[in-house]
């Protein structure tokens, strides 16, 4: 059995009943297993993590997108995080690197179905991108819902990969793709200076000459500001490295880190790296994690 992960981000983090209904639509699919749901009221965004075989995962993602389109109106949506869709981004993630192709196929088939049945414009990104300029999600989502609404029907560069060349009046558009595991990680600063957060983000992110495999933006949040990051390859730039980069750059400006948070689920190896650094224990790894070793035994017994 080949399981893949799906991590849709929905543009609702304040109405618990809406998030619950979307999650229930996903969980109702036989073979789809919801692992985690995280909502953030400031970002006004929820991240649902589930796994299943490719067919079940694609069906569950479709039902989640359909529920979000019915329940979320972007005309009245406000939040700190950029968005252009009710179901803003729907990535498929392989649990084994060799299975990325399965995720690309699932994304392509889902995109066609969403465009056809829900009449929503769909943009394929990352490994599923049909145009090189659409690999980067930030470029795909440029202008957000309001900007895309004005340009989708007139600018050839904004024509969707699937679905109509017109914005859905309330649900916007959706980015669907396949990508390796990604860690969403936020660091809150003890400051209310959003320009400071934006400056630090610009200094550390890859596209501006900073850390490789790191995306970052600066955001205003309730009670302060935040450097919001995506670690697109935690083996290249780790959680420890990302945190240290923000803390050091804030420190030279006389600002402390207030807190940090991981959004969604992370590979255990990423946390093992944090432990290695904190404990100065270079040989500490996944093999030292009790639950990981128990799971290995369970899988071996099942496969016999």
Q: Which residues are catalytic?
A: 81
Tokens linked to 238:
């780790």
Closest CA to 4 of 35, 28, 25: 35
Q: How far is CA 146 from the centre of its chain?
A: 21
Please give the DSSP secondary-structure letter assigned to residue 285.
-
Give the integer Cα–Cα distance in Å for 123 and 125. Answer: 6
- Given a contact cutoff of 8 angstroms between Cβ atoms, the answer to whether 5 and 178 are in contact is no
- Given a contact cutoff of 8 angstroms between Cβ atoms, the answer to whether 13 and 41 are in contact is yes
For 52, phi then psi, to 5°, come to: 175, 170
For 292, phi then psi, to 5°, come to: -65, -45
Give the integer Cα–Cα distance in Å for 272 and 263. Answer: 17
CA dihedral 201, 126, 61, 93 (to 10 degrees): -90
Secondary structure of 196-239 as H, E, C letters? HHHHHHHHHCHHHCCCCCEEEEEEEECCEEEEEEEECCCCCCCH
Determine the straight-line distance between the first and last CA of the chain, rounded to whole angstroms: 14
Residue 215 bridge partners (DSSP): 230
Please give the DSSP secondary-structure letter assigned to residue 172.
B
Give the integer Cα–Cα distance in Å for 27 and 61. Answer: 10
């Amino acid at each position: 059995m080949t399981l893949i992960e799906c991590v849709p981000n929905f543009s609702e983090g304040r109405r618990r009943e809406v998030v619950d209904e979307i999650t229930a639509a996903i969980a109702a699919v036989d073979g789809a297993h919801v692992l985690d749901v995280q909502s953030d009221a400031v970002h006004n965004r929820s991240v649902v993590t589930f796994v299943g075989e490719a067919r079940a995962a694609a069906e569950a993602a479709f039902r989640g997108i359909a529920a979000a389109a019915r329940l979320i109106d972007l005309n009245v949506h406000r939040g700190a995080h950029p968005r252009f869709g009710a179901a803003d981004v729907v990535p498929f993630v392989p649990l084994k690197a060799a299975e990325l192709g399965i995720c690309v196929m699932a994304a392509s088939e889902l995109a066609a179905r969403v465009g056809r049945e829900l009449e929503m414009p769909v943009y394929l990104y990352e490994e599923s991108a049909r145009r090189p300029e659409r690999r980067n999600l930030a470029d795909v989502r440029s202008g957000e819902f309001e900007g895309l609404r004005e340009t989708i029907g007139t600018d050839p560069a904004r024509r969707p990969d699937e679905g109509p060349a017109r914005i859905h009046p309330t649900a916007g558009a959706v980015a669907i793709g396949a990508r390796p595991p990604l860690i969403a990680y936020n660091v809150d600063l003890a400051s209310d200076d959003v320009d400071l957060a934006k400056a630090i983000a610009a200094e550390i992110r890859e596209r501006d000459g900073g850390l490789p495999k790191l995306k970052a933006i600066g955001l205003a949040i309730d009670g302060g500001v935040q450097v919001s990051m995506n670690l697109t390859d935690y083996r290249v730039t780790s959680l420890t490295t990302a945190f240290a980069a923000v803390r050091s750059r804030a420190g030279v400006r006389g600002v402390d880190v207030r807190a940090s948070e991981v959004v969604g689920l992370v590979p255990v190896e990423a946390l093992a790296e944090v432990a290695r650094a904190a404990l100065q224990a270079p040989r500490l790894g996944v093999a030292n994690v009790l639950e990981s070793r128990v799971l290995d035994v369970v899988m071996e017994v099942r496969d016999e």
